[in-house]
Structure 1
């Protein structure tokens, strides 16, 4: 459970989940000029973005793949949706169009009615004139925008689920501390794994855990002293000691500190507030982080439990999706496929657990590694659709 640093150009077009199979949306640079012969060979149409003239310039609507050059003539940044004016569902969008700049919306259109909605910063949305296309095939799929209001019940339900998980985690870290006091190494290792996986299942909440996440599940990344750094604490500190021959007595202090940190987190959780707009993104990031950290072995401090962690992360992903499902069933036609792919990944990972023990990552053969990477990678791509569709959007 750890944050991913994400990069990207401001104002890039958000593909509505990749689910819009008939559409291809890309963000463009500021050199697009309506009316010029385009090097891409596609027809271009200049569209004005402003509170008073939103959507002006679309004089000859036609079907097929085309480019809209969205030029912001106002003095404030804006985002733009191309929507169905009847029900507000969105075909494509571009964010962060700065004053005086132009960005491109590349999209395939079919038969139907369309209108541009301009959403300037700090003012009301404006919908431009309706354009109708009578020829060509049917209009491509569109997704009803999800608002922050829509996401609040899902976030509250997930937050309650996390609270119950933290209650259980308090008990598990307490048993780990007690096992270390008893000195039974095999029991300690089992208690450590049980507690660590319980924490990893809470993956979408890390943003709300604040500094507690570092104390509980931090690694040596950025610590000058590495495994000997005083700031190296929590699960991985204990893991390193257990699987590098440290005495159980020497690990009692770190285990007590871990149990105390978990209890403090649990006690503070009722006052925490998750950002509803982040929930869809977290569903994607859990498995994105799994690929980056677990399936590369970067977080293995000796236990060889990365595949077990990946399996716990899969449970964490399902927990988020369960709270978002009512929003996705009408917006994401590929949801049944995603759910089947989750089942496939679960079966694959469960196959690495034999006689109660997980296969260490470095004992997988090449075929197993490639298949695991491919299955989880495919899920990450599909969950990017969930992140996009559940990105909170303005409607007014």
Structure 2
């Protein structure tokens, strides 16, 4: 028998070389086969539905919404299609956010509204029915009804999008890679929790957290999953004890605040399941140029607000690494759009580079031999400087959107 085996011809290698392609390569290849079609459809939809935005209404003409500890007042709004300004007043006892949701996608949002403060948000809305969030994630959602309006239909058409197809395709491949990394990291994290390996679970939490940070500019496109994956305890009435508190920060709380894996098996498994769902959904994510840029801008402004208030990683205090990963993702988007930006506003790419380098320098100054230290050790003036640099980079991305004809917001480029 052994002689027969020695003389038998060897099985032919799979096409493409002596080694079978990796599962990751196969996955990207399969996803890529339909990628341009998906993006072309998204671009067509965007081109036919997005118009250039008009100047926001005066504050006195804004639609007033008050958010209390338990609801919005009113819970049901009706406005005409087109540009509308909302004045959001926080009458609750916590900082909160107000969002307009179209299914699972965030259309517009205003974050970190302090108690007693009123902030405005301007949105251009197509006719239809939207959900609105009302403070805590455990609170019921309100409804926003947008009626057809002739003025909205008369606005000029958005720019042609053929030039955006390449950047969109490349960005979606990047998102596929990061989503795959996130799914793997959360699966390994769940296994470490099951094995009661606290130190390994802590290390894998950091890996998963950074993978998700690289996906964060696109989080508005999967708001339902983002709520489950990345909501903080302060977003719920019962805080850490609230049964709806799940996801990354629930696991973080157990590992770093309670210093144990006890009680984390179910939350870790749910986290891995949600990460897997995100990984599966990513191949058909409806990317559009305006979302690509506005998501990056909102991420930087959101991060600036969180860092100014003490950080998002309340228990692990790993904010510095998260900020670096998020900023790298945003700068990557700017780099994908660099050829278009250079034509539209020649000085803008260099300004984004300079502002990104300034943020990176602030972060690098905090590094020690082992990497980034706990955010608790960062002096207040340095936290303020980092928050200001994040705001500047967010402003740059707003300006990029305006320069490319995607929005009307932003600073004027030199």
Classify the TM-score, shorter chain. 0.5 to 0.7
Counterparts of 1:11-22 in structure 2, within 5 Å, are 11-12=54-55
Give the CA deviation at 1:146.
4.5
CA contact (8 A) 1:311 1:350 kept: no
- Give 2:232's match in structure 1, choosing from 209, 219, 226: 219
Are 1:206 and 2:237 matched, yes or no?
no
The alignment's TM-score, normalised by the length of structure 2, stands at 0.59
1:122 aligns with 2:153: yes
| 2:329 paired with 1:316 | yes
Structure-2 change in CA distance of 1:184 and 1:146 (3 Å): same
Deviation at 1:223, TM superposition (A): 1.7
Cross-structure match for 2:293: 280
Contiguous gaps of at least 5 residues in structure 2: 1-52, 61-80, 84-122, 125-149, 409-414
Note if contact 1:286-1:316 (Cα within 8 Å) is conserved in structure 2.
no
Q: Is it true that 1:254 corresponds to 2:267 in the alignment?
A: yes
Following the alignment from structure 1 to structure 2, what is the Cα–Cα distance between the partners of residues 253 and 345? 38
Whether 1:172 and 2:185 are equivalent positions in the alignment is: yes
* Aligned partner (choices 354, 370, 384) of residue 368 of structure 2: 354
Q: Is the 8 A contact 2:348 2:400 kept in 1?
A: no
Q: Within 1, Cα distance between the matches of 2:394 and 2:156? A: 33
User: Are residue 376 (structure 1) and residue 407 (structure 2) matched?
Assistant: no
Cα distance in structure 2, aligned partners of 1:225 and 1:197: 27
Q: Is the 8 A contact 1:294 1:307 kept in 2?
A: no
Q: RMSD across aligned C-alpha pairs, in angstroms?
A: 3.2
Q: Which structure exhibits the higher relative contact order, with contacts defined as CA atoms closer than 8 Å and separated by 6 or more residues?
A: 1
> For residues 212 and 366 of structure 1, what CA distance do their matches in structure 2 show?
33
Change (3 A) 1:330 1:225: same
- Partner Cα separation in structure 1 for residue 284 and residue 154 of structure 2: 32
Greater shift after overlay, 293-302 or 334-343? 293-302
SS in 2 for 1:258: helix
Secondary structure of the 1:201 match is: helix
Out of 274, 281, 304, which is 1:291 matched to? Answer: 304
Distance 1:393 1:187 in 2: 45
Deviation >4 Å, runs of 4+? 27-30, 123-126
Deviations 1:154-205 (A, max 9, x none): 3332122101111111111122122223333222211101111110111221
1:235 and 2:248 matched = yes
Do the aligned residues in 2 keep the contact of 1:204 with 1:316 (CA within 8 Å)? yes
Cα distance between partner residues in 2 of 1:353 and 1:168: 25
Equivalents in 2 of 1:182, 1:155: separation in Å? 41
Of 159, 170, 186 in structure 1, the residue corresponding to residue 172 of structure 2 is 159
Please state whether the residue corresponding to 1:373 is helix, strand or coil.
helix
**Structure 1 spans left out of the alignment, 5+ residues:** 1-9, 14-26, 31-75, 79-94, 97-118, 127-144
- TM-score, structure 1 length as denominator? 0.61
Question: CA shift at 1:262, angstroms?
Answer: 0.5
Pairwise mapping of residues 47-58 of structure 1 onto structure 2 (< 5 A)? none
Of 379, 383, 395, 1:365 maps to 379
Higher helix share: 2
For the 8 Å contact 2:341–2:348, the answer to whether it is kept is: no
Contact 1:295 1:306 survives alignment (8 Å): no
**CA–CA separation in structure 1 for the residues paired with 2:396 and 2:156:** 30
Equivalent position of 1:325 in the other structure: 338
Conserved in 2, the CA contact under 8 Å of 1:297 and 1:306? no
SS in 2 for 1:301: coil
1-structure distance, mates of 2:264, 2:58: 55
Matched residue, 2:207: 194
How many residues are matched? 272
From 326, 339, 354, give the equivalent of 1:340.
354
Shift of 1:271: 2.6
